[in-house]
Amino acid sequence: MPQPFALRDWRQVTRDYLDFVFDFDKQGSHLPLVRWEDKNKTMIWMPAYVGSKDGTESINYLAAIVSGSLVGLDMRAYRGHDWVAMATNFYNPADGVFLDRPKGQSGGSFWYDVLPNVLFCQLASLYPDDAGPQRRILSLAERWYQACVALGGGAHPTALPNFDHTGFDLRTMRPFDNGERIEPEGGAGIAWLEYMAWQKFKDPRFLRAADWSIQALERKPVEANPLYEVLLPYAALTAARMNAELGSNYNVAKLVNWCFDPRPSPQARPNWGVIIGSWNGLDVDGLVGSATDGGGYAFAMNTFQYAGTLAPMARYDPRYAHDIGKWILNVASAARLFYSNAHDAEHQSSYAWSSAYDPKSVIAYEGLRRWKRSSASVALADCSDGFGKVLQGNFVSTHFYREDPPQVEVLEETAAGGSARLDHAWEFDLPDCPERFLVVASGRDDHGHHGNYFRFSYSSHPEGPFTEAFCVTNSDAARVKELASNLRGKLYVKAESGDRSPGQTGCDQLRVDAMAISYRSDIGPYAQGDLIVSFIDLVKNYTVPIVLYRPAAAVTDLGLYGSADVGNLGGIIKPTNIEKILRLDLLKTDYFHGPAYPTFLYYNPYTTPKEVQVDLGAEPRDVYDAVSKGFLLQNARGNTDIMIPPDTAIVAALAPAGGKLTRDGTHVLLGGMIVDYGNQ
């Protein structure tokens, strides 16, 4: 039972999000969030984050178009433009599929290359009378089938593709490995795509590729969870659907548990899955992300995608109805924590922008952390003993990392006693906590002082003695030094010339982009992302992230690419007359499904029975429950109550009254339409 429980109107949040993002007349900092790329208005520019300068990504754009469609907006005519037609800008003929960027190339990442095709396929299902998208599905299904073959898939004899790679280059038809990670869940997205294409075109190659992909995943050892980002739930849904519709025998439980249960290495992304627990009194059960990064890091995109993908599973395998109902109840409440109106200013990174420009709080943070990803104490003043001079900036210029435009403090050696020298120091306040790290991003410009380097050291007193921290030669890479726990009060950080040999009079320059004393924060939960905070290093058993901050005025952690998927909640979830009992629409995200009556999941989390009001409409209906295998109501109409036992879910199909109940193998039909796939 979510504590505290708070349910946003996710349908309205979705509509308000679309209205905000696609408003070309918005004014203010970082606004509007869209602009036309060309005078003919054939494509828009849209950032991934509020304030970022990157171009449009399909996982952002396509997700927004899908979300709008899921809550009843016609995205072929929304605000006078055909946004569905614009989606084809992400199709790349050289690769034969949709890619994340209009002029991108496949091969760098499985999930980044597969997800755009999944999203476009969803659009095609939502607009079945639009011939253009339907043709595209055929071509992309053929291309991913060819990829499966190139990865080892074969029919005579049967062989399975190997998805244990970082990506797949569709131009060379070869896998790509970066030596750092594998993304085998690419096979999950391909399985779903191929099965959707088979549903539409009945090409046996597509069914074969879907089967290969599911088998390749489920045959992996249980400890080698293929989950990397967001695609694995598509394999669980596809396996459940193929079991139900075709009589297959895939291990759905293994795939589902992989989606939920974070595991250590050799999981493709260790400790990734569904998070449980209470963070500072706020339940976060059900959110998706890392269970260990900084104590927990949940992501909006992954959470919204999971919900939309896994909800229809309850229709094909009602054994999962209870757990899916319970999980989405928790998600529906905890997902509010991705938004600014769920937190005060201290518990979010971009409060100033949200409070000024997003009064309805419809743009979500990229994620939610159990603890703020470290705090940073910055320089209070410059100090110098007479050697060297400041050419540009001052200590304030070192407060933020990678500013745009750049702001750095530039120091230059001065010639003294036959040698070029620099001695410059900065004053800091030391945070009163046990684990603190000096982090400096700086670089040396060689102006003729051969063999020189700059040595950074620190002391509690301006006159020393100083302890060496690290040396800077040429690189701009950030360097880190843990500070002794007995240091208190002030800290003085000195940069001095490493070479003081006579005869070296060329005066080198030291560029200091950013400096801070980084320390673990006790503020949480904290809504943020990966843009304002620049992660430098991770030490002490993954508990103390070393960070430098970018200026909040220049960029935000508010992610459009995650917010864009909110329609998965908006399209599925509707409250009932009983708080905490939700009506989940199981057809809304069940793309390319066969003929079906309106079907809803209701889960009662209470310890007592509850009467839930169901609107059956004006015509009489029979209500069949696939969980209890029988009728809940017959020949009923209008607003009618259904009794749900405690801690129980029902999967209710609303059929016209009087239909004949028949069987076809394991399937139960009512009035000639399947209401129960019989896999229980």
pLDDT for 542 beyond 50: no
In a domain, 297, yes or no: no
Whether residue 11 contacts residue 570, with contact meaning beta carbons closer than 8 Å, is answered with: yes
In a domain, 461, yes or no: yes
- Write the pLDDT tens digit of every residue in 316-373: 999 999 999 999 999 999 999 999 999 999 999 999 999 999 999 999 999 999 999 8
In a domain, 501, yes or no: yes
Whether residue 512 contacts residue 407, with contact meaning beta carbons closer than 8 Å, is answered with: no
DSSP assignment string, 404-459: SS---EEEE-EEETTEEE-EEEEEEEPPSSS-EEEEEEEEEE-SS-TT--EEEEEE
DSSP element (H, E) containing 517: strand 509-519
- State the pLDDT confidence band at 538, using cuts at 50, 70 and 90: low
Mean pLDDT over 536-548 rounds to 67
Residue 528's beta-bridge partner residues? 367
- Write the pLDDT tens digit of every residue in 605-648: 999 999 999 999 999 999 999 999 999 999 999 999 999 999 99
In a domain, 357, yes or no: no
Asked if 512 and 644 sit in the same domain, the reply is no
Asked if 141 and 225 sit in the same domain, the reply is yes
Asked if 607 and 492 sit in the same domain, the reply is no
- Write the pLDDT tens digit of every residue in 200-223: 999 999 999 999 999 999 999 999
Asked if 401 and 489 sit in the same domain, the reply is yes
Asked if 230 and 100 sit in the same domain, the reply is yes
Report the CATH number at residue 623.
Answer: 2.60.40.1180
Domain residues for the domain of 662 are: 595-676
In a domain, 387, yes or no: yes
Asked if 250 and 390 sit in the same domain, the reply is no
Report the CATH number at residue 385.
Answer: 2.60.120.200
Residue % of the chain over a pLDDT of 70: 99
In a domain, 98, yes or no: yes
In a domain, 63, yes or no: no
pLDDT for 544 beyond 70: no
What span, in angstroms and rounded, lies between the C-alpha atoms of 279 and 521?
14
Q: Looking at residue 386, what is its pLDDT?
A: 79
Asked if 610 and 514 sit in the same domain, the reply is no
Alpha-carbon separation of residue 309 from 220, 234, 304, 596 (angstroms): 22, 6, 9, 18
- Write the pLDDT tens digit of every residue in 502-529: 888 899 999 999 999 998 888 999 999 9
Last residue of a domain, one of 458, 493, 519: 519
Last residue of a domain, one of 501, 519, 537: 519
Asked if 508 and 379 sit in the same domain, the reply is yes
Q: Looking at residue 480, what is its pLDDT?
A: 92
- According to DSSP, residue 49 is labeled B
pLDDT for 251 beyond 90: yes
Residue % of the chain over a pLDDT of 90: 87
Q: Annotate 159-193 with b (16+ C-beta within 10 A) or e (fewer).
A: ebbebbbbbbbbeeeebbeeeeebbbbbbbbbbbb
Q: Looking at residue 161, what is its pLDDT?
A: 98
Q: Looking at residue 403, what is its pLDDT?
A: 87
pLDDT for 385 beyond 80: no
Q: Is the peptide bond before 545 cis (omega within 30 degrees of 0)?
A: no
Asked if 502 and 629 sit in the same domain, the reply is no
pLDDT for 185 beyond 50: yes
Last residue of a domain, one of 466, 501, 519: 519
Asked if 485 and 604 sit in the same domain, the reply is no
Structural tokens at position 637 = 């109409």
- SS3 (DSSP) at 572: helix
Tell me the average pLDDT of the chain: 94
Report the number of distinct structural domains present in the chain.
3
Mean pLDDT over 266-271 rounds to 96
Asked if 498 and 620 sit in the same domain, the reply is no
Q: Looking at residue 459, what is its pLDDT?
A: 96
In a domain, 111, yes or no: yes
Residues 6+ apart with CB under 8 A from 418: 502, 503, 505
Asked if 510 and 611 sit in the same domain, the reply is no
- Write the pLDDT tens digit of every residue in 394-449: 999 999 998 888 899 999 999 987 889 999 999 999 999 888 999 999 999 999 99
Mean pLDDT over 477-500 rounds to 93
Greatest alpha-carbon span in the chain:
104
For 216: left if phi > 0, alpha if psi spans -120 to 50, otherwise beta; the answer is alpha
Residue 427's beta-bridge partner residues? 381, 492
Residue 534's beta-bridge partner residues? 548
- Write the pLDDT tens digit of every residue in 273-322: 999 999 999 999 999 999 998 889 999 999 999 999 999 999 999 999 99
- Write the pLDDT tens digit of every residue in 18-29: 999 999 999 999
